[in-house]
Structures are given as C-alpha cells and as structure tokens.
Chain A
Amino acid sequence: MNNSPLLKIEELRTYFYSRTKQAFIRSVDGVDLEVNKGDTLGIVGESGSGKSVSMLSIMGLIAARPGIITGQVWYQQEQARINLLAGLQDHVQVSKNDGRIMSVEKTDLAWQRRLEKNMLGIRGKEIAMIFQNPKSAMNPFFTIGHQIVENITRHTQYKSRKEAKERALYWLERVKIDSPQLRFYNYPYGLSGGMCQRAMIATALSSEAKLLIADEPTTGLDATIQARIADLLEELRAQTGVTIVLISHDMGVIGRLSNKIAVMYGGRVMESGPAQAVIDHADGKSHPYTEALLKSIPREDNMSSQGHLNSIDGEVLDTINVPRGCRFASRCQRINKSIEKMCLNEEPPLATVSDGHKIRCWHFAGV
C-alpha cells in the first residue's frame, strides 16, 4: 500500500485548439510519470516541451476551451487512490491507434465542471503549486499575511483567525523571512523578488500539502537569491517530508535538488530515472537530447577550441505537425545509418535501461 507512488500519471495528453491554425497544438502528448513519496522529481526541458503544461493539467488549471485534457492521474490519498481526471475522457474522442485526441464534444462546460469536481479538496490542500513569477502570482490587493491565513483556515484544522495567524507566522519563519511580524502586513509589491518567492512557498506549504509543484521557482531571480531559494526548498523537503515536483529548464538547479529526473521534449518524456543515472551522460549512456542539453550548459569543458559553445542545432519542435518518428530526430546528433529508418518513421518506446532508468530512443530499444 505504501509502496504505491504518490502520483502516477498515465498517458496524459493536453491539447490546445489554435483558432488561427485550425489545428490542435499537442503540448503534452502522452506523458507517463511516477512520483514517490518524499522524492524530488525534476522535470527538465526547453520551453514548449510541455513540462509546465503537464503539471498545470494535473492541478486542473487548464481552462476548457481552448485546452483539453485526457489520461489518468492517480493520486494516492491516505485511504484511497483517486483519479484526478476521472470521467474526462467521456467527453473526447480519442484515436484508437495512437491515443491522440481527435475531437471534442461541444459542451465543454460539462468537461470543465467535472474537472472542478475532481479537484475539490485536492487543489491547494493536497497539491500546492508555486509559480515562476511570484509577484504576479500573488494577489496584489491583499497582504501576504491575509493570503496565508486564508489558505490555512480553508485547508487545515486551524480554523480560528488567531490560531491561523500564529500558524502563518510560523510558516513565514520557516521560509526564513526576516521579521515575519512586519512582513505579515506587507503587500506583495513591497517585497523583493526573492522575498516574495519565499512568501509564496510559505503560502503553498501552509495548507500542509503533500505534494508541492514548483514551476521554475528560481528563474528570473538573481544568482545569489537563486542559490538561497534552492537551498530553502531542499531544507524544507528534508524537514517536512513534502514531495516536490520541480520544473526547470536549468539543468544546474535540477541536478542540485532532485533525486529523480525526467527529461521532456515536444510533449513526451524522453528519459526518466534516478538523477545520477540521467546526468551521467558519458559514453552515450543517456538520451541524445539529455546529452545535448547537458553539453550546452555554458561551462569551460563544454567549449570547443574555436571558443564556441556546444549548441543543439535547429529549433524547438513544432507541436502541431508532430513528425511520425522520433520527435528529436531532426536535431539528433547520434542518428546514424543503421537506425535512421526507424528514427524517422516510428516513435521509439520508453525502454528500461537499468533499474528505474528509462530512455525513449532506438539506440536503447534493443537492450
């Protein structure tokens, strides 16, 4: 019972309908992930890889029209295991071959209502989220304290205002905001970026959520502050045992905080596994995309002799006209004659390489 993962995502698909192009943008296209209790799962990928959208889908923060979601998201509560997306597939028509969404029922309101019902008691209470830009993610018209207190009274057993305020101050102290008594009455715009991010972490954790989704929590902050927010997250995880899903495009942050890593490209998980195994890219032991990502980090040993940085040629995948074969094929460096045909015509399966380490590449499919 305890061994089952806290969050298990199966075949999650999130499409957006583009009116100008009259086609679905396949932002998330069949994602399978598992998050165990106490883990920190780092999801890494370029912008447009669907890493944020997949997590927003789990939180039910994708509005129907133009967004549409199918798949299963199993969330392990104390007694029961529930599917956060239960019943949603009734409203969509899915292709029998590859499971992609073909069309959507007209009444997307029913879809939306169903989603809201599923999310009741989960969003905010069980799963909390922090966002990239803390200043715009917090309501500018309420004080920090008010927002935390509201969250506490709604989701925890501290129902009276006095108790809730005490609790809020405890959380503010916990995220190392100096003089929490004063900051309690501050508005978000009165705080600096780093401070505001701390306040948002406090708000998210104050509901005693089991799972914290952190969407690019350090992006846009200064280098010195970034390091501290990362340290804070690590510390909080160790102390409270909260499970964290960390989304970032920065391999550095991911490598520093997470013990499991999933690499996404073009709406698909390309590689997932224990952090050490994924980051260790020597001798072609990881997915070509992961390798390229790691090599493009500006670092002394990643420079070529002409003073060039390693780059991944080409552009990020067009998620409307998804190629038939491997999504990364057009930019892949390790594509060679022997497997070229496969790469271009058929999508590789997620093959298990070693314990828990899976790679979606024809190079590894035979293993």
Chain B
Amino acid sequence: MTQYAQTQTTVSEYSELSILQRTDKRDIAYVVYGIVILLMVVCAYLMAIFGWLPHDPEEMQLELMLAGPGAPGHLLGTDFMGRDTLPRLILVIKAYFVPGLMYIAVAILLGGIFGILSGYYGNKYETVVTYITNIIDSFPRLILMLLVVAAFKPDIYYIMMVLGVTNAPLVSQLIKGKISMLRQKNFVESAIALGIPDARIIFKHILWFNCRSYLIIQATLGMGEAILLESALSYLGFGVQEPTPSWGNMVQQGANYLLQGQLWSSTIPAMAIMFTVLGFYLLGDGLNNMLEGKRQS
C-alpha cells in the first residue's frame, strides 16, 4: 500500500545512491535487453569472423527448400534455394558491423564539428552551418541513398556514408543546443576567464563532461535506424545485392513465397530486424533516462 515509505537514514551522513539504485526499474530492463542484443550482435560478429558458423551458408539443399524452423540440421529453416538461414543471418552482422561503426563515426564527427562551430563560435558560423544542415535535411534520405547507389555501386559502405552525413544535422542540433544551454549558464565564460584554452574547453568541458552520454545515446539510436534503413533499401532491391546476404534482401526473397504459404523464410530475418532494432532503441532510451534523467514534469 505504501508507495514510498520513509527509509531511515542515519543522522550523520548518507552516501549518494548509485546510478542503478535511483533509476526506474523499467529503464534498467530496457538497458539489460539492449545489452543482451548488443552481446548477441558482438558474438555473431566474432562467429562470422572466425568462421564458426553452424552450417555452410552457401550450401544448397534443394530437397529442403523453404523449410520452417526446426527442420533437420537447420535451426531456423532454409530459404528458397535451400540455404540455411541462421549462418546467413550471422554473416549479415559481419557485413553490417564495420560500416555501422563508420556510420556512427561520420555522423558524430561531422555533427560534432557543425555543432561546435555553430554553438560555440556562433554568428557567421551558425548561419553557414544552418544552411548546410538545412540542405542536407531537405533531401529525403531514401532518395538520396538511391541516388548514391545508382551513381556508384550498391555497396553497404556507401549507404552508411550517406546515412552518416544525413544524420549529422541531428547530432549537430543536439550538440549546439547543449552548448548554447551551457553558455547561458556561463561556466564556459568563467573557464575562458581562467585562461583555459578554447580547445580544452570544447573537448574536455563541453564534449567529454557534458555531451558524452548524449553521443552514446545518439550512437545507439542511430545504429537501430541504420539497420532499418538499410533493410528498407535492400528490400527494394537497391541495397546489398545477391548473393551477398542482407536482412533486407532476405526478407524480400522470402516475401515472394509468402502467398504460397511459406511464411518462415521471410519472417525469420524480419524478426531479426525487429528484435535488433528494438534492442538498440530500448538501449538508447534506457540509457537516456538513466544518464540524463527523466524530464521533470
């Protein structure tokens, strides 16, 4: 019946509660789920690198075409050519991993530069940055990716690059907002008055101490978005091309057989997308609430 009972604290001193003790249990659950997904992703990546695959991803077993999960020797079933789904799912992670990191790096680097220029130095820089970010923002992402893929080649690196650039305005906005908020509280001014060099103020005081959790959150959220967009692109047939597997093109291939009642070869990769993206989103959300604190209502 009691919502918050008075916990007896000793009269002398009490220590601050740790971050885990003062966060909502739901947020902790989010983060735990996210971390589990993240661990699975890392495991899959290592498995793919060292070739510890449960089955040969290229081997076709025509007699076992479009098998459901649990078919003999195939844990998650097979696709329309009788290839095992599980190792192909794992291989995709290997294909996503480095480009995904690159995407985060590009987004944060570019967004960070933009954000610092407009937030810290302001004035003319701000105008220029606003123009650039507006131009980037005004392009629909998917169309931009299609254009790049059409102009160069359907490679995941190009796609992630485009994603990174198009995500930069968002990151820049966040950093700019944070910096202008901090400037209002004028501790930046006091740091200048103490003779601390600009670079140190920007990187240590602003980015490291005040924006790091923002950036981590942004990276996790961005990761989920990247997977989603890449899948959409591959599903449309513009992304990663056969025979290289990608979750998007796996869903697409399986979808051809949906009407024939063969549900599994499409829904298994779709579920992989769903759980992974959800994992990243929940991780980002939970981290946000844990590190930044919920907005006071």
Contacts and interface: CB of A to CB of B under 8 A. Distances in A.
B4 A21 contact: no
B2 interface: yes
B209 interface: no
Nearest to B7: A22
Contacts of B2: 93, 103-106
Contact of B9 (A20, A105, A320): A320
Interface residues of A, number: 19
A105 B22 CA distance: 21
B134 to A, nearest CB: 27
Secondary structure call for the B interface: loop
B11 A321 contact: yes
Nearest to B9: A23
Given A105-B1, A106-B1, A21 B6 contact: no
B11 A21 contact: no
Which of B3, B6, B9, B12 counts the most A-chain CB atoms under 10 A from its CB? B6
Interface in B3-17: 3-7, 9-12, 14, 16-17
A108 interface: yes
A17 interface: yes
B11 A20 contact: no
Contact of B17 (A21, A24, A105): A21
Contact of B11 (A17, A24, A105, A323): A323
30 contacts: A19-B22, A20-B17, A21-B14, A21-B16, A21-B17, A22-B4, A22-B9, A22-B21, A22-B22, A23-B6, A23-B7, A101-B6, A102-B6, A103-B2, A103-B3, A103-B4, A103-B5, A104-B3, A105-B1, A105-B2, A106-B1, A106-B2, A106-B3, A108-B3, A320-B9, A321-B9, A321-B10, A321-B11, A321-B12, A323-B11
Interface of B: 1-7, 9-12, 14, 16-17, 21-22
- Lowest 4 CB-CB distances: which A-B pairs, in order? A103-B2, A103-B5, A106-B3, A22-B7
Given A20-B17, A22-B9, 18 more contacts: A20-B16, A20-B22, A21-B9, A21-B14, A22-B4, A22-B22, A23-B7, A23-B9, A24-B6, A102-B6, A103-B2, A103-B4, A103-B6, A105-B2, A320-B9, A321-B11, A321-B12, A323-B11
